[in-house]
Amino acid sequence: MASCLLSAPLLFCVTRSKPQLIVPSASTPHQQKPLSDLDDQGTVRLHIPVLMFYRNSVERRGEDPAMAIKEGLAKALVFYYPLAGRIFEGENGKLIVNCNGKGVLFVEAKANVKLEQIGDKSMQPPCPYLKQLLNTVPGSKGIIDCPLLLIQVTRFTCGGFALGIRFNHTMMDAQGFIQFVNAVSELAKGVSAPSTFPIWERGLLTARSTPTITYEHNQFKDFDLSKTTRWWDFEKLLRITKFINVQKLASDPCVFFSKNICHSLLIKRSFTFGSRELQAIKDQCPASTTFEALCACLWKCRTIALRPDPNSTVLLTIIVNIREKLQDSKLPLGYYGNAIVLAAAVTKAKLLCSNPISYAAKLIREAKNIVNDDYVKSITDLMVTSGRPRGAVLRNFLITDNSRFGYDDVDFGWGKPIFGGVYGVGYGVGFLVSHKRMEDTKGKLVALALPPLIMGKFQYELRKMTRAQK
């Protein structure tokens, strides 16, 4: 099985072996485990693609990285045995793992080029070779009754390799995923047990017996649907593509848009922010963290480029890791489930676009700081009382920071990756990943998807915003 991508002057072809199921290397419990009410929220019912690129190692000359990773994976699944199972849906949409040991999908592949021929730019999101390096196995993309992991190891002619992993987000968040991958790497290098033992305990994040919604969770609301929008707003954008299907749109606008629009109308581009650019942004809102300032900058530039109705409500949604936020019911070390909640900064488009980014940064900081034990309980209760809603789509921009979890530190014995991170790029979502250079180790990278004309305007606004202040 082979696939090719012509990206002049590089003809990149990959030949894959038949997918195989990797099962735990020892017997594991067969049982059913309910997910938490944060695991099975609508927003995380999707698969996340991750890529890591590794150079050839002189010390491991002649050794097969696919074999080492496969062996480490089988051993890790003994400790993380629910990942070898399958999910089914119980009463009221509750997701439950059937721990049956069926295994995870594993694919070995060979490329016809050297790793350096791809180039550093193509290794970072949005990687043009994602389909070559992480092929979709037919029938594997569903949430229900599908493998929870798909792994592909692609060897290059130079001895380097790429590791592609697609994981079911309902099983774990970014921190939990890295914890699992680190366990695979440790076991691949010969240790008998992972340094961090996995903890299930999903009942800690389950709705109360008497659900009580105590916060205004704006991140799940689509505001101003009746307002007249400009042609590039969501509704008009759908109509001009000739892909419109009103029934499907009404049932799930997020899925409809990602499936029918992104590949035909949007362009994907990455933006890097070194220390100089980050400082230029931070100088405009000194009371904020770098994350708050960068999110404020991206939110404002994107909104100006999209030109929504000035009186329409716009949102910036961030994903908050609650592991360090909880006081009453702290999560144990090793918890690898979804310990994340959405929090939204909300304002009018005209206020966002006309004010300095310190205005937006303040809103983001307030949204982030509101997350506490009561907020988590409220959003958990909301999941079970409101049909496990997805996050808002219209005039919403969701940013998640994956730069601090160590995607580019995972070592299977061939050294650390040249580059590693999440590679999912879609409309309305921005993944922040680390972008280290020899002279600058604190950089950030974000990949976005926008219509071509809007992307040009966004870039123009971003250049103005990141120019060092005189």
Q: Identify whether the C-beta of residue 424 lies closer than 8 Å to the C-beta of residue 268.
A: no
Full DSSP string of 355-420: S-HHHHHHHHHHHHHT-SHHHHHHHHHHHHHTTSPPPP-TTEEEEEE-TTS-GGG--SSS-S-SEE
Cα dihedral 285, 288, 294, 297 in deg (nearest 10)? -40
Sign of CA dihedral 357, 358, 361, 366: negative
Q: Identify whether the C-beta of residue 455 lies closer than 8 Å to the C-beta of residue 269.
A: yes
Task: Write the Ramachandran bin of 155: left for phi over 0, alpha for psi from -120 to 50, otherwise beta.
Answer: beta
What distance in Å separates the CA atoms of residue 369 and residue 218, rounded to the nearest whole number?
A: 15
Would you state the structure tokens that stand for residue 208, as one six-digit string? 């109360």
What distance in Å separates the CA atoms of residue 117 and residue 163, rounded to the nearest whole number?
A: 17
- Token pair 């490329």: residue: 111
What distance in Å separates the CA atoms of residue 381 and residue 291, rounded to the nearest whole number?
A: 29
Which residues share a beta bridge with 107? 152
Q: Give me the active site residues, please.
A: 169, 411
Residue 280, classified by CB atoms within 10 Å of its CB into exposed (0-12), middle (13-18) or buried (19+), is middle
What distance in Å separates the CA atoms of residue 114 and residue 54, rounded to the nearest whole number?
A: 12
Beta-carbon contacts of 144 under 8 Å, excluding residues fewer than 6 positions away, are 87, 88, 89
